Structure 1
């Protein structure tokens, strides 16, 4: 079987000998070899088992309280709220059965000051947006509270289907008066203050929502992954393996686990950290946290690339040692630039030139400069994909689905838009387990699935609540 080193040979560029030497060094530094991948997968399995066994483990493995599987025949109208990145999404889904549904939705931009201000202000903003949405789209619920599923894409210690305390912020959020507080209570209080007739029926992690949304259409879906601004995964786990579960005896035999896998390898045992990753982590708002996430998600890939470019500028290997104010600005190199650069097949790499010279205001670039920058973008993205595949392989090895096959739902801009991301993931699985097994792992894009999943879980929670009252 071909190793990663053979499959992805060091590219030859027509720049200077120093550029070729630097490119060769970077290629090896960012390459996740097959042997390294095996080591990471094994560590993933061990960390999963620790998280299922006891609280306080590096990978938290949080019970979601979601225990059923959709049939695809569910019907009804439910609201969903999706918070976890640049935008807040408010949606109303109508489930029509046979895996079919329709949706009205509206996006609202979350101002930067709301992301780092008091949590009460953020909740008031959310309540205002929901009120605006209901007024504008005229939801047909008038005599009782509207049932809402709240997708909250941050680490929450869930204590019931609609209860959970925030463990820590990620993805640029850092609101005060929120850590160790119940986020549903905070939001429900805001609805009460604003006199918005909405009941938060379910608190849903975006990855759990992605899994459930895909399962409405494809009931055999067993895993959901987010590969976007941040990253996470959720999957169905046998209740007997959740050794830390303290809930009352239940009539279910499996539950969705929200892994919070972005925290993997906090101890730095197996991940291939570079000086560029260390610089990014040190300068982030949450140093020494979410290390796996910082190597594979959209919030960080552009910054890793910028760090590499600046290092080569300082060594006078790129741009004759010339930089720019934009390139020197933290987060100034957007991850979206990588996708544009990777697919640039023009003879003089005109798209790469435009980003470097027109957008980032680099005084001038040679063809060799542009080749190096394109290869950096490829290397950073490919490493992210291979590491993501290691996480997938760890889950499938733990559950045994690696031998029986699995349907996996993935949402997120990195997976959807970074060129060849899925191909790199599949290649990694092939290297680890062979062609036949890799062919049994089916990835599907579940675009904006987390909102739909939240509505689904709100529906399931509401019906369970009514059944208890009956």
Structure 2
């Protein structure tokens, strides 16, 4: 018996040795078996560490080919749970905790402005508004008619001009840039047939400035580097922005006086608050994301206000706050492997966590990373990546926005838009390919709208606590909004409102008591209102 057992043992050893030699000759088979053995998440369809394609990976990217339907199920499971009420409520609490912490000592977020007054609605007259952005300079003469007359029309634009800030303008050094601004102001106001008589008292002026400054009063702030190729701060770092603009206007004999400097989020809040006194928030969502909120000053630690005159502290009971909302969400946002891949290739991956999930600057890139994964592992587009999509950020958010606006069964419009911008050398994509992009874009945009709504809800909850509300205030609270994503991306604003309604109801509030309302021309109108409020207070 023993010899028989020994013989059978040798047979088994020889048999296993033969199998191993065969597997070694079939390297890919061995690799596949080992990967499934080591990574059971592959079988389950769970996320694995990012690797190829800028870090993107799915259950299929380590060698296992999967079907189209299985891939789309993986994508759905990665994105849809992020929008559940339970997950969003948890996220809102996490964001609120981070917001509260930033009221104490964060010098980058929850920044109290010098605007401590909302408009009374009694501000009337003509005011000059300036809006300096990264590519345009806008000047407008605006008539504020008073709140009662402003129903449906916050202000009447008497005269307006838009000037392109090209590379030549960006290269203007120091005071030359501000002299260029003054020349454009003069050009806009000259020859006007209605509005302000330039021989009268100085025309009150408000400025919406989209660049960093260290604000030192309502009308002044220390100039900092502008970036984006601008040389205006050359030799002028630390000088007062208000004085620089005022001096350039005086050299041209302009009878104007700069009364207020605001950022874009503050301007948006002020523009809507002029016509509706229930406005307490502003939301900007375009290439980036930001929000403003009106809060009582007692919730801030004293160092957050820096050095301000005693007169300001004596008057201020509330203050408009630039939240820098894009910077919140570290460690708590519902990240997928494609989000991880985006950050892995980003030069500053931890600076603006929320922005990477929701803004127009990144939505298209998230969709691109998912799409390439599907092409390479599930055979979308015949397994061939269109050459124009091989580089980061080549699928624009505008493109997926247009595609999502096509709700026809044949998706002819979506197909035409995609193929015109991203032609494939092998063949025209089939309907199933376009449907896949359409669906992926929908998952990404709906998640983004849910996260934006959660950010607004966290701010709303924070304000309720700060004001001592036990639940939602009885009256409706408005959130003034603008920005290309909220204004133009199909269904985005509606989805955002839907998620916000659910979160407010879950917090004991009333559906619709926090309403997103479009703020038209908010930068110009907000600058004019800021100037009017400051002029009346001076």
Counterpart of 1:158 in structure 2 is: 215
Deviation, structure 1 residue 284: 5.3
Change in CA separation of 1:119 and 1:360 when aligned onto 2, cut-off 3 Å = farther
**Farther-moved stretch of structure 1 (176-185 vs 207-216):** 176-185
Matches within 5 A, 1:22-421: 22-31=71-80, 32=82, 33-56=84-107, 60-84=109-133, 86-97=135-146, 98-100=148-150, 101-103=155-157, 104-111=159-166, 123=178, 125-135=180-190, 137=192, 140-143=196-199, 145-165=202-222, 173=228, 175=230, 177=233, 182-188=240-246, 190-191=248-249, 198-244=256-302, 245=305, 247=308, 248=310, 249-265=313-329, 268-281=330-343, 286-315=348-377, 317-363=379-425, 364-400=428-464, 403-404=472-473, 405-421=476-492
Q: Is the 8 A contact 1:39 1:270 kept in 2?
A: no
* 2:503 aligned residue: 432
Report the TM-score when normalising by structure 2.
0.74
In 2, distance between residues paired with 1:197 and 1:294? 44
Q: What's 2:521 paired with? A: 448
Instruction: Indicate if the aligned counterparts of 2:259 and 2:535 stay in contact, CA closer than 8 A.
Output: yes
Encode CA deviations 1:428-449: one digit per residue, 9 max, x unaligned.
2344343753321122111221
State how far apart, in whole Å, the 1-side matches of 2:149 and 2:355 are: 32
With the length of structure 1 as denominator, give the TM-score of the two structures: 0.84
What is the CA–CA distance in structure 1 between the aligned matches of 2:389 and 2:175, rounded to whole Å?
A: 36
Q: CA deviation at 1:186?
A: 4.9
Cα deviations across residues 307-337 of structure 1 (Å, max 9, x unaligned)? 3323333446332233344333544333222
Q: SS of the counterpart of 2:121?
A: coil
Q: Distance in 2 between matches of 1:89 and 1:360?
A: 34
Higher deviation after alignment, 424-433 or 335-344: 424-433
More displaced, 245-254 or 217-226? 245-254
2: CA distance, partners of 1:380 / 1:126:
40
Cα distance in 1, alignment partners of residues 160 and 435 from structure 2: 42
- Secondary structure (helix, strand or coil) at the match of 1:89 reads strand
Tell me how far 1:141 sits from its aligned partner.
4.2
Q: What is the CA deviation profile of residues 117-173 of structure 1, one whole-angstrom value per residue up to 9, with x for unaligned ones? A: 86766545544433332236466342354332111234544321122346786xx83
- 8 Å contact kept, 1:297–1:414: yes
For the 8 Å contact 2:66–2:378, the answer to whether it is kept is no
SS in 2 for 1:439: coil
Q: 1:148 to 1:50 in 2, by over 3 A?
A: same
Relative to 1, partners in 2 of residues 1:54 and 1:140: Cα closer, same or farther, differing over 3 Å?
same
CA distance in 2, matches of 1:434, 1:415: 22
SS at structure 1 position matched to 2:282: strand
CA distance in 2, matches of 1:182, 1:384: 38
Q: Which digits, 9 at most, give the CA deviation of each residue in 1:399-436, with x for residues without a partner?
A: 11661142211112211211222332233234434375
Stretches of structure 2 that go unaligned for 5 or more consecutive residues are 1-64
Judge conservation of contact 1:213–1:453 (CA < 8 Å) in 2. Answer: yes
Report the secondary structure of 2:141's partner residue.
strand
Aligned to 1:7: none
Which of 401-410 and 124-133 deviates more?
Answer: 124-133
Q: What's the RMSD between the two structures over aligned residues? A: 3.0
Deviation at 1:37, TM superposition (A): 1.7
Mapped to 2, the partners of 1:204 and 1:376 lie a distance apart of: 38
Give the match's secondary structure for 2:389.
coil
Aligned twin of 1:5 = none
Distance 2:172 2:366 in 1: 27
Aligned mates of 1:187, 1:280 — CA distance in 2: 40
Change (3 A) 1:320 1:128: farther
Inter-CA distance 53–110: structure 2 relative to 1 (3 Å threshold): same
Deviation of 1:389 after TM superposition, in Å, equals 0.6
Distance 1:160 1:211 in 2: 19
Q: Compared with structure 1, are the counterparts of its residues 334 and 95 closer, same or farther at alpha carbon in structure 2 (3 Å cutoff)?
A: same
Deviating more after overlay: 311-320 vs 345-354: 311-320
Within 2, Cα distance between the matches of 1:208 and 1:18? Answer: 49
Tell me whether 332-341 or 89-98 shows the greater mean CA deviation.
332-341
Q: Classify the secondary structure of the residue corresponding to 2:490.
A: coil
Q: Is there any run of 5+ residues in structure 1 with no aligned partner, and where?
A: 1-15, 466-470
Output one character per residue of 1:321-372: Cα deviation in whole Å (capped at 9) or x when no partner: 3334433354433322222211212222111211221122234211111011
Distance in 2 between the 1:351 and 1:140 partners? 49
**Alignment-derived partner of residue 30 in structure 2:** none
Return the alpha-carbon distance in structure 2 between the equivalents of residues 189 and 325 of structure 1: 52
Secondary structure class of the residue paired with 2:350: coil
Alignment partners' CA distance in 2, 1:449 and 1:212: 8
Cα distance in 2 for residues equivalent to 1:141 and 1:287: 52
